[in-house]
Chain A
C-alpha cells in the first residue's frame, strides 16, 4: 500500500485516496473545432508511461482535494506532489 504525501494533509495511506489517472490531459477548448480522432485521443488515449508519471489523485477520505503525484510506475517511488494550479501544474 502506497504512502501518498497529500500536499495538505501530509503522508497518508493509499486507502484514503482515489487515483484519477494520467494528469495533463488537455480538454479541447472548443470541442466542435477538433476532429473525431482528436476528440477520441483526448477521451481515450493515455501514454501508459514506464517510469516517472504525473497522475491525478483525490484525497477522498481526507481534505477532498485533487492534486498531482509524480510517481515512478516501475518502482512506485513518489518523486513529489503538486497542488492544482501551482506553478507549471497542468491539471
Chain B
C-alpha cells in the first residue's frame, strides 16, 4: 500500500521507457478448491470478477484484478476496497468452507514499465517468451526476473508490462531495472 521504492519514476532511453511504482494497491491471497462453487462465488460477491481458472491468466474490472497463481491459489489486487474489507467479505462469503484468505498488502508492490522497449528490458533477466503473440492481453505469469520472483502482467495492446514484486526484493529489482534499461533501445 505504501510506497516502498525511493524514487517513483525512472526515465530511460530518452523517455521512451518509463519505470514507475504504482503504490496504494491492496493485495489479498486466496487459496481454495476451484471446484467448490463457493470459492468463485465469493470472489464474484466481493470483487464482481469471475475467478480465472485458466493458468497464467487474470480477470479484471475497473477497480480490481484477480491473478491465477496456481490451481488452488489466486492473488486479488484492489484499487478501491481495503484488504480488510476484502478479507472479511471473502471469509463471510466462504462460510465454513476450507480455504485461506490472507492479507499480503504490505508484502507486495507493483512496478509498471511503459514504452516500446519494456519487454526487451525484461528479456534481459526473464526466460519467458514475452512476444505479444506469446504473452498478450489477459495473460500473467509467475517467474524469475533476474534472481527475484515476480508476477508479470501483460498490459493490453502494448509492449507495456506490470510487475508485482515482493517487498524485500523491490529495491534490488528497481536497481536491476535501472541497470538493464541503461542502454535500452
- A–B touch (CB < 8 A): the answer is yes
Report A's interface with B, CB cutoff 8 A: 1, 8-10, 12-13, 15-16, 61-65
Residue total for B at the interface (Cβ-Cβ under 8 A) = 13
Check if B70 is an interface residue, CB within 8 A of chain A: yes
30 inter-chain pairs at a CB distance below 8 angstroms, sorted by A residue, are A1-B127, A8-B55, A8-B70, A8-B71, A9-B55, A9-B56, A9-B142, A12-B127, A12-B143, A13-B127, A13-B128, A15-B127, A16-B127, A16-B143, A16-B144, A61-B142, A61-B143, A61-B144, A62-B70, A62-B141, A62-B143, A63-B55, A63-B69, A63-B70, A63-B73, A63-B142, A64-B69, A64-B70, A64-B73, A65-B71
Report B's interface with A, CB cutoff 8 A: 55-56, 69-71, 73, 127-128, 141-144, 149
Question: Chain B residue with minimal CB distance to A9?
Answer: B55
Chain B residue numbers with a CB within 8 Å of A8 are 55, 70-71
Given contacts A15-B127, A62-B142, list 14 more A-B pairs with CB under 8 A: A8-B55, A9-B56, A9-B142, A12-B128, A13-B128, A61-B143, A62-B143, A63-B69, A63-B70, A64-B69, A64-B70, A64-B73, A65-B70, A65-B71
The answer for the CA separation of A12 and B56 in the assembled complex, in Å, is: 12
| A9 adjacent to B141 (CB under 8 Å) | yes
The answer for the CA separation of A58 and B10 in the assembled complex, in Å, is: 36
The answer for the CA separation of A15 and B144 in the assembled complex, in Å, is: 8
